[in-house]
Structure 1
Amino acid sequence: MGDETHDRPLVGVVCDRFFAGEHDLHSAKHSYVRALMSGANVSPVLIPATRDVDAFDAYLDAVSGLLFPGGASNVEAHRYRGQASADMLVDPDRDHTALALMQAAASRGMPVLAICRGFQEMNVAFGGTLHTDIHACGHSEDHLEDPSEDLHTRYRYRHDVELAPTGMLATLAHAQRVRVNSLHRQGVAKLAPRLVVEARASDGLIEAYRLDGHPFALGVQWHPEVMLEDDALSRAMFAAFGSHCRRHRRANTTRDTTRSRTSKGVEPCQQTAST
Protein backbone atom coordinates (compact mmCIF):
# COMPACT_ATOMS: atom_id res chain seq x y z
CA MET A 1 0.00 0.00 0.00
CA GLY A 2 3.02 2.34 0.19
CA ASP A 3 2.24 5.64 1.86
CA GLU A 4 -1.39 4.59 2.32
CA THR A 5 -0.28 2.37 5.21
CA HIS A 6 0.07 5.51 7.33
CA ASP A 7 -2.84 7.38 5.74
CA ARG A 8 -5.92 6.09 7.54
CA PRO A 9 -8.91 8.45 7.44
CA LEU A 10 -11.81 8.03 9.83
CA VAL A 11 -14.85 6.30 8.36
CA GLY A 12 -18.19 6.29 10.15
CA VAL A 13 -20.13 3.04 10.57
CA VAL A 14 -23.85 3.52 11.23
CA CYS A 15 -24.98 1.42 14.19
CA ASP A 16 -28.08 -0.62 14.86
CA ARG A 17 -30.04 0.10 18.04
CA PHE A 18 -31.57 -2.85 19.85
CA PHE A 19 -32.20 -4.37 23.27
CA ALA A 20 -30.23 -7.24 24.77
CA GLY A 21 -32.30 -8.11 27.81
CA GLU A 22 -32.90 -4.79 29.55
CA HIS A 23 -29.86 -3.14 27.99
CA ASP A 24 -30.33 -0.58 25.21
CA LEU A 25 -27.37 -1.01 22.82
CA HIS A 26 -25.81 0.57 19.75
CA SER A 27 -23.61 -1.81 17.78
CA ALA A 28 -22.08 -2.87 14.46
CA LYS A 29 -20.77 -6.32 13.54
CA HIS A 30 -17.05 -6.86 13.76
CA SER A 31 -16.97 -8.20 10.19
CA TYR A 32 -17.57 -4.66 8.90
CA VAL A 33 -14.96 -3.14 11.22
CA ARG A 34 -12.42 -5.79 10.16
CA ALA A 35 -13.12 -5.28 6.45
CA LEU A 36 -12.68 -1.51 6.75
CA MET A 37 -9.39 -1.87 8.59
CA SER A 38 -7.84 -4.62 6.48
CA GLY A 39 -9.55 -4.07 3.12
CA ALA A 40 -10.02 -0.30 2.95
CA ASN A 41 -7.10 0.63 5.25
CA VAL A 42 -9.22 3.15 7.16
CA SER A 43 -10.00 3.66 10.85
CA PRO A 44 -13.67 2.92 11.59
CA VAL A 45 -15.65 4.87 14.19
CA LEU A 46 -19.18 3.93 15.25
CA ILE A 47 -22.05 6.38 14.78
CA PRO A 48 -24.95 5.69 17.16
CA ALA A 49 -28.51 5.42 15.87
CA THR A 50 -30.02 8.61 17.24
CA ARG A 51 -32.63 11.24 16.48
CA ASP A 52 -30.28 14.05 17.48
CA VAL A 53 -30.13 15.81 14.11
CA ASP A 54 -27.82 18.48 15.52
CA ALA A 55 -25.11 15.82 15.81
CA PHE A 56 -25.14 14.80 12.14
CA ASP A 57 -23.03 17.69 10.83
CA ALA A 58 -20.45 17.03 13.55
CA TYR A 59 -20.18 13.39 12.47
CA LEU A 60 -19.80 14.38 8.82
CA ASP A 61 -17.17 16.98 9.66
CA ALA A 62 -15.14 14.33 11.50
CA VAL A 63 -15.20 11.46 8.98
CA SER A 64 -14.08 11.02 5.38
CA GLY A 65 -16.56 8.32 4.41
CA LEU A 66 -19.59 6.39 5.63
CA LEU A 67 -20.39 2.67 5.72
CA PHE A 68 -24.05 1.70 6.00
CA PRO A 69 -23.89 -1.98 7.05
CA GLY A 70 -26.38 -4.82 7.06
CA GLY A 71 -28.51 -5.52 10.10
CA ALA A 72 -31.20 -7.81 11.47
CA SER A 73 -33.92 -5.16 11.11
CA ASN A 74 -35.65 -3.79 8.02
CA VAL A 75 -36.48 -0.26 6.88
CA GLU A 76 -39.89 0.76 8.21
CA ALA A 77 -42.58 0.47 5.54
CA HIS A 78 -43.93 4.00 6.02
CA ARG A 79 -40.53 5.35 4.91
CA TYR A 80 -41.25 4.15 1.37
CA ARG A 81 -45.07 4.16 1.45
CA GLY A 82 -45.18 0.37 1.74
CA GLN A 83 -47.33 -2.12 3.60
CA ALA A 84 -46.10 -2.89 7.11
CA SER A 85 -45.70 -6.51 8.19
CA ALA A 86 -46.39 -7.44 11.81
CA ASP A 87 -43.53 -9.94 11.96
CA MET A 88 -40.88 -7.58 10.55
CA LEU A 89 -38.16 -6.36 12.91
CA VAL A 90 -37.63 -2.60 12.57
CA ASP A 91 -35.18 -0.04 13.95
CA PRO A 92 -36.73 3.47 13.69
CA ASP A 93 -33.68 5.25 15.11
CA ARG A 94 -31.37 3.64 12.59
CA ASP A 95 -33.76 4.62 9.78
CA HIS A 96 -33.76 8.22 10.99
CA THR A 97 -29.97 8.35 11.28
CA ALA A 98 -29.10 6.45 8.12
CA LEU A 99 -31.47 8.25 5.76
CA ALA A 100 -30.39 11.69 6.97
CA LEU A 101 -26.68 10.85 6.82
CA MET A 102 -27.02 9.24 3.38
CA GLN A 103 -28.54 12.40 1.91
CA ALA A 104 -26.06 14.71 3.69
CA ALA A 105 -23.05 12.63 2.60
CA ALA A 106 -24.24 12.77 -1.02
CA SER A 107 -24.52 16.56 -0.87
CA ARG A 108 -20.91 16.74 0.34
CA GLY A 109 -19.58 14.29 -2.25
CA MET A 110 -18.48 12.04 0.63
CA PRO A 111 -17.71 8.38 -0.23
CA VAL A 112 -20.45 5.94 0.73
CA LEU A 113 -20.51 2.14 0.80
CA ALA A 114 -23.94 0.65 1.55
CA ILE A 115 -24.37 -3.08 2.21
CA CYS A 116 -27.57 -5.17 2.54
CA ARG A 117 -29.80 -3.05 4.84
CA GLY A 118 -27.67 -0.08 3.85
CA PHE A 119 -28.39 -0.89 0.19
CA GLN A 120 -32.12 -0.68 0.92
CA GLU A 121 -31.65 2.55 2.89
CA MET A 122 -29.84 4.05 -0.09
CA ASN A 123 -32.79 3.47 -2.41
CA VAL A 124 -35.28 4.89 0.10
CA ALA A 125 -33.07 7.90 0.89
CA PHE A 126 -33.21 9.05 -2.73
CA GLY A 127 -36.90 8.41 -3.33
CA GLY A 128 -37.14 4.73 -4.29
CA THR A 129 -39.47 2.08 -2.88
CA LEU A 130 -39.02 -1.47 -1.57
CA HIS A 131 -40.81 -4.78 -1.69
CA THR A 132 -41.60 -5.57 1.95
CA ASP A 133 -41.09 -9.27 1.21
CA ILE A 134 -39.39 -10.18 -2.08
CA HIS A 135 -40.25 -13.86 -1.71
CA ALA A 136 -43.97 -13.05 -1.56
CA CYS A 137 -43.44 -11.20 -4.85
CA GLY A 138 -42.13 -14.34 -6.54
CA HIS A 139 -38.39 -13.81 -6.30
CA SER A 140 -36.08 -16.78 -5.87
CA GLU A 141 -35.38 -18.33 -2.48
CA ASP A 142 -31.68 -17.93 -3.34
CA HIS A 143 -31.97 -14.56 -1.56
CA LEU A 144 -33.43 -16.07 1.61
CA GLU A 145 -31.49 -16.48 4.85
CA ASP A 146 -31.86 -19.71 6.82
CA PRO A 147 -31.17 -18.93 10.52
CA SER A 148 -30.85 -22.64 11.29
CA GLU A 149 -27.59 -22.81 9.30
CA ASP A 150 -24.22 -22.02 10.84
CA LEU A 151 -22.73 -18.64 9.83
CA HIS A 152 -20.15 -20.05 7.43
CA THR A 153 -22.82 -21.99 5.52
CA ARG A 154 -25.31 -19.12 5.69
CA TYR A 155 -22.94 -16.66 4.01
CA ARG A 156 -21.89 -18.96 1.16
CA TYR A 157 -22.15 -17.83 -2.46
CA ARG A 158 -25.79 -18.37 -3.39
CA HIS A 159 -26.40 -17.06 -6.91
CA ASP A 160 -24.86 -15.13 -9.81
CA VAL A 161 -25.42 -11.50 -10.70
CA GLU A 162 -24.95 -9.89 -14.10
CA LEU A 163 -22.85 -6.72 -13.93
CA ALA A 164 -23.62 -3.63 -16.00
CA PRO A 165 -21.08 -3.72 -18.88
CA THR A 166 -19.67 -0.21 -18.33
CA GLY A 167 -20.34 -0.01 -14.59
CA MET A 168 -18.07 0.48 -11.61
CA LEU A 169 -18.37 -3.14 -10.45
CA ALA A 170 -17.59 -4.62 -13.86
CA THR A 171 -14.46 -2.46 -13.96
CA LEU A 172 -13.42 -3.61 -10.48
CA ALA A 173 -14.25 -7.27 -11.17
CA HIS A 174 -12.82 -7.47 -14.71
CA ALA A 175 -15.87 -9.64 -15.40
CA GLN A 176 -19.50 -9.44 -16.46
CA ARG A 177 -20.86 -12.05 -14.07
CA VAL A 178 -19.94 -12.80 -10.45
CA ARG A 179 -21.28 -15.03 -7.70
CA VAL A 180 -22.60 -13.37 -4.53
CA ASN A 181 -23.99 -14.14 -1.07
CA SER A 182 -27.26 -12.21 -0.80
CA LEU A 183 -29.38 -12.65 2.33
CA HIS A 184 -32.38 -10.36 2.49
CA ARG A 185 -36.14 -10.05 2.80
CA GLN A 186 -36.68 -6.54 1.44
CA GLY A 187 -35.64 -5.60 -2.08
CA VAL A 188 -35.91 -2.84 -4.64
CA ALA A 189 -39.40 -2.29 -6.06
CA LYS A 190 -39.02 1.12 -7.71
CA LEU A 191 -35.47 2.37 -8.23
CA ALA A 192 -34.72 5.91 -7.03
CA PRO A 193 -34.28 8.32 -9.98
CA ARG A 194 -30.66 9.18 -9.07
CA LEU A 195 -29.48 5.58 -8.86
CA VAL A 196 -27.89 3.64 -11.73
CA VAL A 197 -28.10 -0.18 -11.79
CA GLU A 198 -24.76 -1.95 -11.36
CA ALA A 199 -25.95 -5.58 -11.01
CA ARG A 200 -29.05 -7.76 -11.33
CA ALA A 201 -29.83 -11.31 -10.26
CA SER A 202 -31.15 -13.80 -12.80
CA ASP A 203 -34.69 -13.30 -11.42
CA GLY A 204 -34.46 -9.61 -12.35
CA LEU A 205 -33.97 -8.26 -8.82
CA ILE A 206 -31.56 -5.31 -8.61
CA GLU A 207 -28.54 -6.29 -6.52
CA ALA A 208 -26.26 -3.25 -6.82
CA TYR A 209 -26.35 0.38 -7.87
CA ARG A 210 -24.39 3.62 -7.68
CA LEU A 211 -25.43 7.24 -7.18
CA ASP A 212 -25.19 8.98 -10.53
CA GLY A 213 -22.65 11.81 -10.70
CA HIS A 214 -21.07 10.96 -7.34
CA PRO A 215 -17.34 10.04 -7.06
CA PHE A 216 -18.08 6.90 -5.01
CA ALA A 217 -21.51 6.06 -3.62
CA LEU A 218 -22.08 2.34 -4.12
CA GLY A 219 -24.76 0.03 -2.75
CA VAL A 220 -24.66 -3.78 -2.90
CA GLN A 221 -27.26 -6.21 -1.65
CA TRP A 222 -24.74 -8.94 -0.84
CA HIS A 223 -22.04 -9.22 1.86
CA PRO A 224 -18.52 -8.43 0.57
CA GLU A 225 -17.27 -7.90 4.14
CA VAL A 226 -17.59 -11.64 4.80
CA MET A 227 -15.78 -12.74 1.62
CA LEU A 228 -12.87 -10.30 1.76
CA GLU A 229 -10.16 -12.98 2.06
CA ASP A 230 -11.54 -15.22 -0.69
CA ASP A 231 -13.12 -12.90 -3.24
CA ALA A 232 -11.24 -10.53 -5.56
CA LEU A 233 -14.22 -8.23 -6.17
CA SER A 234 -14.82 -7.82 -2.43
CA ARG A 235 -11.19 -6.79 -1.92
CA ALA A 236 -11.30 -4.42 -4.89
CA MET A 237 -14.52 -2.85 -3.64
CA PHE A 238 -13.16 -2.07 -0.17
CA ALA A 239 -9.82 -0.93 -1.58
CA ALA A 240 -11.58 1.49 -3.94
CA PHE A 241 -13.75 2.79 -1.10
CA GLY A 242 -10.67 3.42 1.06
CA SER A 243 -8.89 5.17 -1.79
CA HIS A 244 -11.82 7.53 -2.32
CA CYS A 245 -12.00 8.24 1.43
CA ARG A 246 -8.33 9.29 1.39
CA ARG A 247 -8.93 11.44 -1.66
CA HIS A 248 -11.94 13.08 0.02
CA ARG A 249 -9.93 13.84 3.16
CA ARG A 250 -7.05 15.34 1.19
CA ALA A 251 -9.44 17.54 -0.81
CA ASN A 252 -11.13 18.76 2.38
CA THR A 253 -7.78 19.39 4.09
CA THR A 254 -6.61 21.49 1.14
CA ARG A 255 -9.90 23.41 1.09
CA ASP A 256 -9.76 24.08 4.85
CA THR A 257 -6.14 25.23 4.65
CA THR A 258 -6.94 27.61 1.80
CA ARG A 259 -9.96 28.97 3.68
CA SER A 260 -7.87 29.49 6.82
CA ARG A 261 -5.11 31.34 4.98
CA THR A 262 -7.61 33.55 3.19
CA SER A 263 -9.45 34.40 6.42
CA LYS A 264 -6.13 35.60 7.89
CA GLY A 265 -5.50 37.84 4.90
CA VAL A 266 -2.91 35.52 3.36
CA GLU A 267 -3.47 34.74 -0.29
CA PRO A 268 -2.98 31.10 -1.40
CA CYS A 269 0.45 30.44 -2.90
CA GLN A 270 0.62 30.90 -6.64
CA GLN A 271 3.22 29.66 -9.04
CA THR A 272 5.14 32.34 -10.94
CA ALA A 273 6.70 31.76 -14.31
CA SER A 274 10.50 31.70 -14.28
CA THR A 275 12.28 34.30 -16.38
Structure 2
Amino acid sequence: MARPVIGIIGNSQLINDQYATHAGGTMNSEAVAEVSKGLPLIVPADPALVSVDELLEVCDGFLLTGGRPNVHPSEYGEEETPAHGAFDRGRDAIVLPLVRACVARGQPFFGVCRGFQEVNVAMGGTLWPEIRELPGRMNHRMPPDGTLEEKFALRHKVTFTEGGPFHRLMGAREVMTNTLHGQGIKTPGARVVVDGLAPDGTPEAVWIEGAPGFTLSVQWHPEWRASADPVSRPLFEAFGRAASAWAEGKRPVSVREVA
Protein backbone atom coordinates (compact mmCIF):
# COMPACT_ATOMS: atom_id res chain seq x y z
CA MET A 1 0.00 0.00 0.00
CA ALA A 2 1.34 3.47 -0.89
CA ARG A 3 2.37 5.71 1.94
CA PRO A 4 0.27 8.81 2.66
CA VAL A 5 1.82 11.94 1.21
CA ILE A 6 2.73 14.42 3.95
CA GLY A 7 3.34 17.99 2.83
CA ILE A 8 6.16 19.42 4.95
CA ILE A 9 5.90 23.21 4.89
CA GLY A 10 9.23 24.62 3.76
CA ASN A 11 10.90 27.83 4.88
CA SER A 12 12.45 30.42 2.59
CA GLN A 13 16.11 31.02 3.30
CA LEU A 14 19.33 32.13 1.64
CA ILE A 15 22.37 29.89 1.36
CA ASN A 16 25.61 31.86 1.54
CA ASP A 17 23.49 35.03 1.65
CA GLN A 18 22.64 34.78 -2.04
CA TYR A 19 21.12 31.45 -3.12
CA ALA A 20 17.37 31.33 -2.40
CA THR A 21 15.90 28.03 -1.23
CA HIS A 22 12.76 26.49 0.21
CA ALA A 23 14.16 24.24 2.93
CA GLY A 24 12.95 21.65 5.37
CA GLY A 25 14.92 20.17 8.25
CA THR A 26 16.08 16.58 7.77
CA MET A 27 14.63 15.67 11.15
CA ASN A 28 11.15 16.64 9.91
CA SER A 29 11.43 14.29 6.95
CA GLU A 30 12.82 11.53 9.15
CA ALA A 31 9.96 11.86 11.64
CA VAL A 32 7.38 11.72 8.84
CA ALA A 33 9.00 8.77 7.04
CA GLU A 34 10.10 6.71 10.02
CA VAL A 35 7.37 7.36 12.60
CA SER A 36 4.32 8.62 10.70
CA LYS A 37 5.11 6.14 7.90
CA GLY A 38 4.40 8.84 5.34
CA LEU A 39 6.06 10.03 2.14
CA PRO A 40 7.70 13.38 3.00
CA LEU A 41 7.16 16.11 0.40
CA ILE A 42 8.70 19.53 1.05
CA VAL A 43 6.31 22.30 0.05
CA PRO A 44 7.60 25.65 -1.27
CA ALA A 45 5.31 27.90 0.77
CA ASP A 46 4.90 30.65 -1.80
CA PRO A 47 1.55 31.53 -3.43
CA ALA A 48 3.40 32.36 -6.66
CA LEU A 49 4.37 28.69 -6.94
CA VAL A 50 1.61 26.64 -5.31
CA SER A 51 -2.01 27.09 -4.32
CA VAL A 52 -3.92 25.84 -1.30
CA ASP A 53 -6.33 23.92 -3.54
CA GLU A 54 -3.46 22.12 -5.25
CA LEU A 55 -1.87 21.17 -1.94
CA LEU A 56 -5.14 19.82 -0.58
CA GLU A 57 -5.44 17.65 -3.68
CA VAL A 58 -1.87 16.33 -3.71
CA CYS A 59 -1.22 15.79 0.01
CA ASP A 60 -2.97 13.59 2.57
CA GLY A 61 -1.74 15.60 5.56
CA PHE A 62 0.51 18.51 6.46
CA LEU A 63 3.36 19.03 8.89
CA LEU A 64 3.41 22.73 9.77
CA THR A 65 7.05 23.09 10.70
CA GLY A 66 8.96 25.49 12.88
CA GLY A 67 10.98 28.28 11.33
CA ARG A 68 12.93 31.37 12.25
CA PRO A 69 10.55 33.89 10.57
CA ASN A 70 7.38 34.70 12.51
CA VAL A 71 3.78 35.20 11.42
CA HIS A 72 3.39 38.86 10.46
CA PRO A 73 1.42 40.68 13.20
CA SER A 74 -0.89 42.27 10.63
CA GLU A 75 -2.41 38.79 10.29
CA TYR A 76 -3.80 39.21 13.81
CA GLY A 77 -4.48 42.92 13.75
CA GLU A 78 -1.33 44.31 15.36
CA GLU A 79 1.45 46.64 14.24
CA GLU A 80 4.91 45.36 13.36
CA THR A 81 7.65 46.11 15.93
CA PRO A 82 11.34 45.11 16.14
CA ALA A 83 10.35 42.50 18.75
CA HIS A 84 8.34 40.61 16.13
CA GLY A 85 11.54 39.64 14.30
CA ALA A 86 11.78 38.40 10.71
CA PHE A 87 8.83 37.38 8.54
CA ASP A 88 7.92 35.09 5.64
CA ARG A 89 4.86 36.61 4.00
CA GLY A 90 4.71 33.90 1.35
CA ARG A 91 4.36 31.25 4.05
CA ASP A 92 1.68 33.34 5.79
CA ALA A 93 -0.27 33.49 2.54
CA ILE A 94 -0.21 29.71 2.09
CA VAL A 95 -0.39 28.22 5.57
CA LEU A 96 -3.06 30.38 7.22
CA PRO A 97 -5.76 29.58 4.61
CA LEU A 98 -4.46 26.00 4.41
CA VAL A 99 -5.12 25.53 8.13
CA ARG A 100 -8.66 26.86 7.81
CA ALA A 101 -9.34 24.60 4.83
CA CYS A 102 -8.02 21.53 6.66
CA VAL A 103 -10.14 22.32 9.71
CA ALA A 104 -13.24 22.54 7.52
CA ARG A 105 -12.46 19.39 5.49
CA GLY A 106 -11.12 17.20 8.26
CA GLN A 107 -7.78 16.85 6.46
CA PRO A 108 -5.07 16.19 9.06
CA PHE A 109 -2.32 18.59 10.03
CA PHE A 110 0.24 18.61 12.83
CA GLY A 111 1.52 22.03 13.92
CA VAL A 112 5.00 22.45 15.42
CA CYS A 113 6.43 25.67 16.95
CA ARG A 114 5.75 28.31 14.26
CA GLY A 115 3.15 25.89 12.91
CA PHE A 116 1.48 25.87 16.33
CA GLN A 117 1.37 29.68 16.23
CA GLU A 118 0.04 29.64 12.66
CA VAL A 119 -2.87 27.46 13.74
CA ASN A 120 -3.80 29.94 16.45
CA VAL A 121 -3.57 32.94 14.10
CA ALA A 122 -5.48 31.12 11.35
CA MET A 123 -8.34 30.65 13.82
CA GLY A 124 -8.35 34.34 14.83
CA GLY A 125 -5.94 34.27 17.77
CA THR A 126 -3.05 36.57 18.64
CA LEU A 127 0.59 36.12 19.67
CA TRP A 128 3.02 37.63 22.14
CA PRO A 129 6.12 38.80 20.23
CA GLU A 130 8.54 37.83 23.02
CA ILE A 131 7.50 35.48 25.84
CA ARG A 132 10.62 36.05 27.96
CA GLU A 133 9.78 39.76 28.36
CA LEU A 134 6.46 39.02 30.11
CA PRO A 135 6.38 39.13 33.93
CA GLY A 136 6.77 35.71 35.48
CA ARG A 137 7.57 33.91 32.22
CA MET A 138 10.55 31.71 31.44
CA ASN A 139 13.00 32.18 28.60
CA HIS A 140 11.67 29.63 26.10
CA ARG A 141 14.23 30.45 23.42
CA MET A 142 16.82 28.04 22.05
CA PRO A 143 20.15 28.32 23.88
CA PRO A 144 22.44 30.42 21.64
CA ASP A 145 25.44 28.14 22.12
CA GLY A 146 26.17 24.45 22.46
CA THR A 147 25.63 21.26 20.50
CA LEU A 148 22.33 20.25 18.92
CA GLU A 149 21.87 17.82 21.79
CA GLU A 150 22.16 20.71 24.23
CA LYS A 151 19.85 22.97 22.23
CA PHE A 152 17.15 20.30 21.92
CA ALA A 153 17.54 19.02 25.48
CA LEU A 154 14.43 18.55 27.62
CA ARG A 155 14.00 21.78 29.58
CA HIS A 156 10.55 22.02 31.14
CA LYS A 157 7.38 20.13 31.94
CA VAL A 158 4.14 20.40 30.01
CA THR A 159 0.96 19.57 31.93
CA PHE A 160 -2.03 18.34 29.95
CA THR A 161 -5.75 18.64 30.70
CA GLU A 162 -7.11 15.64 32.58
CA GLY A 163 -8.75 13.30 30.09
CA GLY A 164 -7.86 15.47 27.08
CA PRO A 165 -6.47 14.10 23.80
CA PHE A 166 -2.84 14.74 24.73
CA HIS A 167 -3.29 13.06 28.14
CA ARG A 168 -4.92 10.04 26.50
CA LEU A 169 -2.29 9.84 23.78
CA MET A 170 0.66 10.10 26.18
CA GLY A 171 -0.83 8.08 29.01
CA ALA A 172 0.46 10.81 31.33
CA ARG A 173 -0.60 14.26 32.41
CA GLU A 174 2.96 15.59 32.65
CA VAL A 175 5.79 15.20 30.15
CA MET A 176 9.17 16.83 29.62
CA THR A 177 9.83 18.74 26.40
CA ASN A 178 12.43 20.88 24.70
CA THR A 179 11.78 24.57 24.11
CA LEU A 180 13.10 26.68 21.23
CA HIS A 181 10.63 29.51 20.65
CA GLY A 182 10.41 33.24 21.29
CA GLN A 183 6.74 33.89 20.57
CA GLY A 184 3.64 32.29 22.04
CA ILE A 185 -0.13 32.40 22.21
CA LYS A 186 -1.56 35.61 23.64
CA THR A 187 -5.26 35.02 23.03
CA PRO A 188 -6.48 31.66 21.70
CA GLY A 189 -8.37 31.77 18.43
CA ALA A 190 -11.97 30.67 18.02
CA ARG A 191 -12.32 26.96 18.86
CA VAL A 192 -8.63 26.70 19.81
CA VAL A 193 -8.50 24.52 22.94
CA VAL A 194 -5.37 25.00 25.05
CA ASP A 195 -4.72 21.46 26.27
CA GLY A 196 -1.18 21.77 27.67
CA LEU A 197 0.72 24.42 29.64
CA ALA A 198 4.34 25.07 30.62
CA PRO A 199 5.00 25.76 34.32
CA ASP A 200 4.86 29.52 33.64
CA GLY A 201 1.42 29.28 32.01
CA THR A 202 2.61 29.44 28.40
CA PRO A 203 0.31 27.40 26.10
CA GLU A 204 2.19 24.39 24.71
CA ALA A 205 -0.46 22.08 23.22
CA VAL A 206 -3.69 22.87 21.37
CA TRP A 207 -6.40 21.31 19.23
CA ILE A 208 -9.46 22.67 17.41
CA GLU A 209 -12.86 22.10 18.99
CA GLY A 210 -15.43 20.64 16.60
CA ALA A 211 -12.96 19.96 13.78
CA PRO A 212 -13.72 16.65 12.08
CA GLY A 213 -10.05 15.74 11.62
CA PHE A 214 -6.65 15.62 13.34
CA THR A 215 -5.59 19.09 14.54
CA LEU A 216 -3.06 18.49 17.32
CA SER A 217 -0.33 21.14 17.52
CA VAL A 218 2.53 21.71 19.96
CA GLN A 219 4.83 24.60 20.77
CA TRP A 220 7.92 22.43 21.27
CA HIS A 221 9.89 20.46 18.63
CA PRO A 222 8.85 16.77 18.69
CA GLU A 223 10.70 16.05 15.43
CA TRP A 224 13.97 15.89 17.37
CA ARG A 225 14.77 12.16 17.62
CA ALA A 226 11.08 11.41 17.17
CA SER A 227 11.51 7.67 16.71
CA ALA A 228 13.13 7.26 20.13
CA ASP A 229 11.46 9.95 22.24
CA PRO A 230 8.46 8.65 24.26
CA VAL A 231 6.64 12.00 23.94
CA SER A 232 7.36 12.64 20.26
CA ARG A 233 6.71 9.16 18.94
CA PRO A 234 2.99 8.89 19.86
CA LEU A 235 2.33 12.31 18.31
CA PHE A 236 3.84 11.39 14.95
CA GLU A 237 2.28 7.92 15.05
CA ALA A 238 -1.19 9.37 15.64
CA PHE A 239 -0.66 11.93 12.88
CA GLY A 240 0.43 9.14 10.54
CA ARG A 241 -2.68 7.09 11.30
CA ALA A 242 -4.87 10.10 10.52
CA ALA A 243 -3.05 10.77 7.25
CA SER A 244 -3.31 7.09 6.25
CA ALA A 245 -7.04 7.10 6.92
CA TRP A 246 -7.42 10.21 4.75
CA ALA A 247 -5.37 8.65 1.94
CA GLU A 248 -7.54 5.52 2.05
CA GLY A 249 -10.72 7.56 1.76
CA LYS A 250 -11.95 6.72 5.22
CA ARG A 251 -13.76 9.22 7.42
CA PRO A 252 -11.40 11.72 9.11
CA VAL A 253 -9.78 10.74 12.41
CA SER A 254 -10.73 13.41 14.96
CA VAL A 255 -8.59 14.43 17.93
CA ARG A 256 -11.04 12.65 20.23
CA GLU A 257 -10.06 9.37 18.57
CA VAL A 258 -6.27 9.70 18.64
CA ALA A 259 -5.74 7.35 21.59
Q: Considering the TM-score relative to the shorter chain, is it more than 0.5?
A: yes
| % identity of equivalent residues | 32
2:14 to 12, 16, 19: 19
The answer on whether the counterparts of 1:142 and 1:158 sit within 8 Å (CA) in structure 2 is: no
Spell out, residue by residue over 1:80-121, the C-alpha distance to the aligned partner (whole angstroms, 9 max, x if none). 123423261211111111112111121211001000000000
Structure 1 partner of 2:185: 188
Spell out, residue by residue over 1:220-262, the C-alpha distance to the aligned partner (whole angstroms, 9 max, x if none). 0001110414322211110110001111111269xxxxxxxxx
132-141 or 43-52: bigger deviation: 132-141
The answer on whether the counterparts of 1:82 and 1:131 sit within 8 Å (CA) in structure 2 is: no
2:155 to 158, 167, 177: 158
Cα separation, 1, equivalents of 2:207 and 2:68: 23
Spell out, residue by residue over 1:33-56, the C-alpha distance to the aligned partner (whole angstroms, 9 max, x if none). 000000100001111121238722
Structure 2 partner of 1:247: 245
Cα separation, 2, equivalents of 1:228 and 1:48: 24
Structure showing the higher helix proportion among its residues = 1
Q: How far did residue 139 of structure 1 move? A: 4.9
Q: Which runs of 5+ in 1 are unaligned?
A: 1-5, 254-275
Cα separation, 2, equivalents of 1:161 and 1:56: 33
Structure 1 partner of 2:231: 233
Cα separation, 2, equivalents of 1:142 and 1:134: 7
Q: Cα–Cα, structure 1 residues 50 and 82, in superposed 2: closer, same or farther, change >3 Å? A: same
Structure 2 partner of 1:259: none
Structure 2 partner of 1:126: 123
1:89 aligns with 2:86: yes
Structure 1 partner of 2:256: none
Cα separation, 1, equivalents of 2:147 and 2:79: 31
2:29 to 17, 29, 33: 33
Cα separation, 2, equivalents of 1:50 and 1:236: 31
Q: What amino acid is aligned across from residue 237 of structure 1 in structure 2?
A: L
Highest Rg: 1 or 2? 1
Q: Cα–Cα, structure 1 residues 103 and 139, in superposed 2: closer, same or farther, change >3 Å? A: farther
* Larger RCO of the pair (alpha carbons < 8 Å, separation 6+): 2
Q: What amino acid is aligned across from residue 245 of structure 2 in structure 1?
A: R
Q: Which runs of 5+ in 2 are unaligned?
A: 252-259
The answer on whether the counterparts of 2:10 and 2:22 sit within 8 Å (CA) in structure 1 is: yes
The answer on whether the counterparts of 2:12 and 2:20 sit within 8 Å (CA) in structure 1 is: yes
Which residues of 2 match residues 75-114 of structure 1 at below 5 A? 75-86=71-82, 88-114=85-111
TM-score scaled by length of structure 1: 0.85
2:57 to 58, 61, 64: 61
Matched position secondary structure for 1:143: coil
105-114 or 15-24: bigger deviation: 15-24
